[in-house]
Structure formats: C-alpha cells, structure tokens
Amino acid sequence: MSEPEPDFEMDLRCAQCPVRHHAICDALGASDIGELSDIMTHRTLTAGEVILHQGESSQLFAVIMSGVVKLTQILPDGREQIVGLLSAADSLGNPVSSLSNENAECVTDVKLCCFRRSQFGAVLRANPELEHRLLEQTVSDLKQARQWMTVLGKLGAQEKMARFILWLWKENRSACPHRSQGDPGSVIYFPLKREEIAGLLGMTIETVSRNISKLKSDGIIDLLDAKSIELRNVPRLQQIAQSYEDDHDQDNC
Amino acid sequence: MSEPEPDFEMDLRCAQCPVRHHAICDALGASDIGELSDIMTHRTLTAGEVILHQGESSQLFAVIMSGVVKLTQILPDGREQIVGLLSAADSLGNPVSSLSNENAECVTDVKLCCFRRSQFGAVLRANPELEHRLLEQTVSDLKQARQWMTVLGKLGAQEKMARFILWLWKENRSACPHRSQGDPGSVIYFPLKREEIAGLLGMTIETVSRNISKLKSDGIIDLLDAKSIELRNVPRLQQIAQSYEDDHDQDNC
DNA sequence: CGGATAATTGACTGGATTCAAGGGTAGTGG
DNA sequence: CCACTACCCTTGAATCCAGTCAATTATCCG
C-alpha cells in the first residue's frame, strides 16, 4: 500500500507526448529532449493511490501527463488540508531534496512521466534552461499558495466558494483555449468531492454544500450534477469572491 | 510616497557583507562575486515604508541585509493577509517577472542590497549555481507557504498562537546558533505588533491578545513586554500546536 | 434490486468576531 | 521632569457565522 505498482510502457516517446510543449520539458529543444526520453518511464495510477508521503524520502520526480493529483498535509489528529492541486503538465516531487514536504495522492486516474531524482538532476545541471523553467514553475506555485493563504485567512465561507468556482473556471479556460466565441455554455466539470473542496477551502462538507446551495438558489450558478457547475452570473460571483477583475496572468500556457 | 528615496553607499563591498555567506550570493565564489558587487547598491529604509506594490511592475531585486519585511495581499475591501515574512539573507522581488505578486513593506528599519532586475538576470544566466540556489530558496518559501496554509485552514486560535510562537523560536534559533548549552533563557523578541500577528494568522487583534493571555495564565509562556515572550513549557506548546516534534529541517543554515 | 458512499438539509452549539471601554506605554513639547 | 497625546494592548459582553450532530435523500456499482 505504500509503494504503487509500476506499469512500464517504454514505447511512447516524447514526440507523441500530449504535454511535451506545456510542461517544463518544453525548455529543451528537439536536440536535447533525448536526454530526458532516455531516462523516463511512464506509469499509470488509479484514483486514491498515494504517490508521495510527507516527511518521507522518495526518488521520484515526475510530470503529470493526465489526471489530477492533490498535495496534502495531515495533522497528528487526522485533519487534512489540501495545499495544492496538480494537473496535466504540472510536475511533482521536490526538485532540490529527496524529502517530500507533502503527501501526493491521485484524485482521478493519473498518467505520470517518471524520472529518478538523481538522473533528472543530472539533466538539470547540464541544461540551465530547464532549471530556469523549473524556477518559473515554482515561483508560479508559490504565488498560488500565497493566494490560497489569503483565501484561507481572510475570506468567509460564501466568499471562499465563489473564489473556488472562479478558480475552476480560470483553470478550465487555460486548459482548453479552443472555443473562441463569447464562451456561451460556461459549464465547469471538476473531479473533487465535497470533502476535497472542504479540505482545500478550510471548511466542512456541510458548509460547502450549504454555500453551493445558496449560490444556486440565488441564481448565480446552476448544478447539473454534484460535480458540474454552470455559471449564470459571473460578475456577481466575482463581486462575492472579493477578487480583482482578473489576474491578467501571463503564466505557463 | 510610492518610490522610496535611494540612499547610495558604494564603498561597502561584498567582502564585508554580513549576509555574504547566508544569502543566495553564497553560491558565487570569490572569483565570481565581483559580477554582483559591480551592479549592487545599498539602500536604507525605515519602518512602514512600502517597497513593492502588488500587481505593479518593479525593476527591483534585492537581498535583505538586516531588518524584517512583510509580504501582504490586500483585498478590495481593505482586509490584509500577511503571506510571508522576510529577514536577513532572504531575497525580495520576483526573479522571473517584473510584476510583483504581493506588497512588500518594512516592519522594522531595513537595509537592502539592491539590483536592477535586468542586470541581476544577466548574472543569473551566466551562473547556473546562482540560479540553482535561487530555486532552492523558492522551494523553501513554497514549503513554508503551504505550511501556513494548513495553519490558516485547519487550526483553531489557540493552536495558531502556539504554532506562531514555536515558529518564532525556531527562526530565532537558526538566526543565532551561538549559545551551545541547553538553551537556558528561552526569551524570544519579535518586532510584530498584535495587528501584524493577527494579519499573519488569520484572526483579529483581540483574539490574538486573548490567546496570548491564556497561554500566560496557564504558565506556558511569560510576557516580558508586548513583544518579548519567554518560553516556560515547550513540550506543552508543541502539543497545543499540533506540530510534529521538529521539522528536522536541513534548509539554508 | 440493494448496499455503500456521497450530498443535502435542519437544529443546536460554540468559538471567534464585533462593539465598546479601560489601561499601558512611548514619544513630544512645555 | 512631567503632562499630554497618540497609539497599542487588554479585557468584557453580546452577536454571529461556521462547526457539530443527526436525519434524510441522491447517486453510484455490485
């Protein structure tokens, strides 16, 4: 139960990789990408599997090819806080130490592109552009963590829910920038249970549920099913969320 | 009021710098440090001065030589969350973009070693060891931000206070690892007002005050003055804080 | 269909905020 | 040196928001 069963598929090369140009490996050109493809292995995990344990040592460094992973911290008495959510093109694992600062657990089924820390570290040292890209991603993660600090520390339940929904919306949008029209059907799907939303926002499942219901009865959102929300009044939502218009984000993507 | 008045002193070189071997510049050896000393300027700021504004562009990147700086995020309605505290040897400013993600404001008088982003970036590109060191620091900051997320999201007022005091204690200890005996007089001084503690822990000044009083009346701490705490029962404090024994931290110094 | 897991809703409780008053302390100027 | 003021801290009382406990309904899968 502690170490997931590896599932190797050595045939798939970087050229066919769906996140080749969205993940940190984009920093390497066609001539250097071989350094990574030579040492990578693919692995498929199922929802609920634990990838990393907080405080424990691991040789894994990986890029997420598909699926969602949650980073959590667990208190001695069992309470769990979600401190990060990772999805396709994000990377996983501590790049500067073998000790993991958080637990990492699959929210959905997940496909990983895995490296041994030592081998990845060697490529990193040989390719400063790659390390620079890793720095950019870490700075971006830090920015997000600090934004969540503000949400957790200063916002009320209603405001937290609104922020969460708007955050989902933004993530959705940056993930699939296909439809160029005036975004007609603003339907968001998310794979998180109420318990996980609660774990992220620092509240209980009951409070999450109550506040979703409130937003629905106010006509601001509509619930298609428990994990699909349709936005009906975005400006109102932004107002409730105490968010500045839009974080004109020029980050990865 | 928006741009602090510079105060140049070109005479002081890196060799005399008190943080030369504790800050990121330690990554550069004696032969390369000149690249930095050639482009650095020292600046002295007084408590309350604002160094960076959230969402605004700035050409500043700096290393703190002395003093304490708080990083904050402010909501449209004025509520303020402290998302980070920086002190001697920490660096300040976004290394990958000119946009600042937070406000930075002096808590005490502060001495900075300043660089222009563009010039520092050039040194960074020429010295991968320096960029690696910056990555290490950013990862460390991210780890800390996520720990605060757990504090903000899951702990009660009493637990937050205990964590805060233990965090101060650890910071104190790593700052001056002089006295090697069994730490007899565990007195901690901190420059933060109640309002700032509240802003960091996601509570109000009144709740902060009440909980400090509670810890004092329980004999767990003693208050010498409003900003000096004496620890009287560390194990009890750790128990209240819901913290694991000690984050056997092998980080920077 | 049936059992298990997930989500909603209600009633009650409690801890933190809010509102308000009262001390303490530091810095200024007579 | 002391008085005065401004700011900071503490403490009390009342309120309120979110948590807890509990019951019901919905959904997913065998």
For residue range A35-70, what is the model confidence (pLDDT) as tens digits? 999 999 999 999 999 999 999 999 999 999 999 999
In this complex, the answer to whether residue B59 has its CB under 7 A from any atom of chain D, a nucleic strand, is no
Disruptive mutation site among A92, A103, A142 for chain B (greatest number of B CBs within 10 Å): A142
The distance of A91 to chain B (nearest Cα, Å) reads 13
Q: Is A131 on the interface with B (CB under 8 A)?
A: yes
CA distance B224 to B189: 9
Q: What pLDDT score does A251 carry?
A: 46
Q: What pLDDT score does A244 carry?
A: 80
CA distance B10 to B41: 6
pLDDT grade, residue B1 (50/70/90)?
Answer: very low
Disruptive mutation site among A94, A103, A135, A208 for chain B (greatest number of B CBs within 10 Å): A135
Judged against a pLDDT cut of 80, whether residue A193 lies above it is answered with yes
From edge to edge, which strands make up the β-sheet containing B187-189? B187-189, B228-231, B221-225
CA distance A73 to A81: 5
In this complex, the answer to whether residue B14 has its CB under 7 A from any atom of chain D, a nucleic strand, is no
Q: Is B96 on the interface with A (CB under 8 A)?
A: yes
pLDDT one-digit tens code per residue, B208-249: 999 999 999 999 999 999 999 999 999 999 999 999 765 555
The distance of B140 to chain A (nearest Cα, Å) reads 9
Q: Which CATH number fits domain B156-240: 1.10.10.10, 3.30.9.10, 3.90.1200.10, 2.60.120.10?
A: 1.10.10.10
Strands A60-66 and A187-189, bridge-based pairing: unpaired
Average pLDDT in the B164-179 region?
Answer: 83
Residue from B64, B249, B8 nearest B147 by CA:
B249
pLDDT one-digit tens code per residue, B123-162: 999 999 999 999 999 999 999 999 999 999 999 999 999 9
Q: Which CATH number fits domain A14-147: 3.90.180.10, 3.20.20.140, 2.60.120.620, 2.60.120.10?
A: 2.60.120.10
Q: Cite the residue boundaries of each domain of chain A with CATH code 1.10.10.10.
A: 155-240
CA distance A136 to A154: 27
CA distance A187 to A109: 22
The distance of A99 to chain B (nearest Cα, Å) reads 10
The distance of B152 to chain A (nearest Cα, Å) reads 5
Residue from A95, A44, A48 nearest A72 by CA:
A48
Out of B73, B96, B125, name the one closest to residue A150 (CB): B73
From edge to edge, which strands make up the β-sheet containing B50-52? B50-52, B103-106, B69-74, B80-86
The distance of B119 to chain A (nearest Cα, Å) reads 16
Q: Is A136 on the interface with B (CB under 8 A)?
A: yes
Out of A77, A142, A153, name the one closest to residue B202 (CB): A153
CATH of domain A155-240: 1.10.10.10
Chain A residue with minimum CA distance to B100: A143
Disruptive mutation site among B149, B208, B246 for chain A (greatest number of A CBs within 10 Å): B149
In this complex, the answer to whether residue B214 has its CB under 7 A from any atom of chain D, a nucleic strand, is no
Out of A102, A131, A145, name the one closest to residue B131 (CB): A131
Burial class (CB in 10 A: 0-12, 13-18, 19+), A105: buried
B242 to A75: CB separation less than 8 angstroms, yes or no:
yes
Q: Is B27 on the interface with A (CB under 8 A)?
A: no
Find the Å distance, CA of residue A25 to C1' of nucleotide D27. 41
Q: What pLDDT score does B150 carry?
A: 98
Judged against a pLDDT cut of 60, whether residue A158 lies above it is answered with yes
pLDDT grade, residue B11 (50/70/90)?
Answer: very low
pLDDT one-digit tens code per residue, B176-203: 655 555 455 699 999 999 999 999 999 9
CA distance B223 to B99: 41
In this complex, the answer to whether residue A225 has its CB under 7 A from any atom of chain D, a nucleic strand, is yes
Q: Is B185 on the interface with A (CB under 8 A)?
A: no
In this complex, the answer to whether residue A209 has its CB under 7 A from any atom of chain C, a nucleic strand, is yes
Q: pLDDT > 90: what percent of chain A?
A: 85
A101 to B132: CB separation less than 8 angstroms, yes or no:
no
In this complex, the answer to whether residue B242 has its CB under 7 A from any atom of chain C, a nucleic strand, is no
Q: What pLDDT score does A181 carry?
A: 53
Q: Cite the residue boundaries of each domain of chain A with CATH code 2.60.120.10.
A: 14-147
